[in-house]
Chain A
Amino acid sequence: GAGVSQSPRYKVAKRGQDVALRCDPISGHVSLFWYQQALGQGPEFLTYFQNEAQLDKSGLPSDRFFAERPEGSVSTLKIQRTQQEDSAVYLCASSLRTGFEAFFGQGTRLTVV
């Protein structure tokens, strides 16, 4: 597609439920990033992939968060046993390769009730 696509755009989950957020990067982009943006805050880095390899997951807030990119294209961010503090917008970004401009998707707004 023309840009980074994320789905769903909105997700409401009951506390304790598992959720999966999808990111379709720009075709051919090697690097893929996930960020978490809490209300009124700037985005914060979660994890980074180069092709299918997850090279940095230092920003994942707990072991309930898991990300994968098995074929080096589409990526999924999974949150297990969601908590209220997980409520945020989750942004995905891709770039041609490291050091190049990152393009962001519109994000998935997760609300945990």
Chain B
Amino acid sequence: AQSVTQPDIHITVSEGASLELRCNYSYGATPYLFWYVQSPGQGLQLLLKYFSGDTLVQGIKGFEAEFKRSQSSFNLRKPSVHWSDAAEYFCAVGESRELTFGKGTLLTVNP
């Protein structure tokens, strides 16, 4: 069965600092990988996705993620965090139907 692990429950960074959120997955085939962001009281917004091809994926709001098959990882990065990035971030894996989500990483941004 597929699964997603987000090792960090809560991360705090200062505004302007770089960010890396970790995601490890378990999946039997070539996975489709996603990062979603959820602000309080809001639904999930897709940041970026990996289906195939270039392992470095660019997304919205300045985010990028790198697929590393050897490490079963799909870590999310941003070079300079803005206060508006404070939210919960979910990594997900799936194929053609439903997604399996990690438990999320809550990001706090200090001024």
Contact = CB atoms under 8 A, between A and B. Distances in A.
Interface in B28-48: 36, 41-46
Interface size class of A (residues with CB under 8 A): 20 to 34
A43 B96 contact: no
Contacts, number: 49
Interface residues of B, number: 21
B49 A101 contact: yes
Nearest to A50: B97
B101 interface: yes
Interface of B: 4, 36, 41-46, 49, 90, 92, 95-104
Interface of A: 4, 31, 33, 40-45, 48, 55-56, 59, 91, 93, 98-99, 101-107
Given A43-B99, A106-B41, 14 more contacts: A40-B104, A41-B103, A42-B103, A42-B104, A43-B44, A43-B90, A43-B101, A48-B97, A98-B97, A101-B46, A102-B99, A104-B36, A106-B43, A107-B43
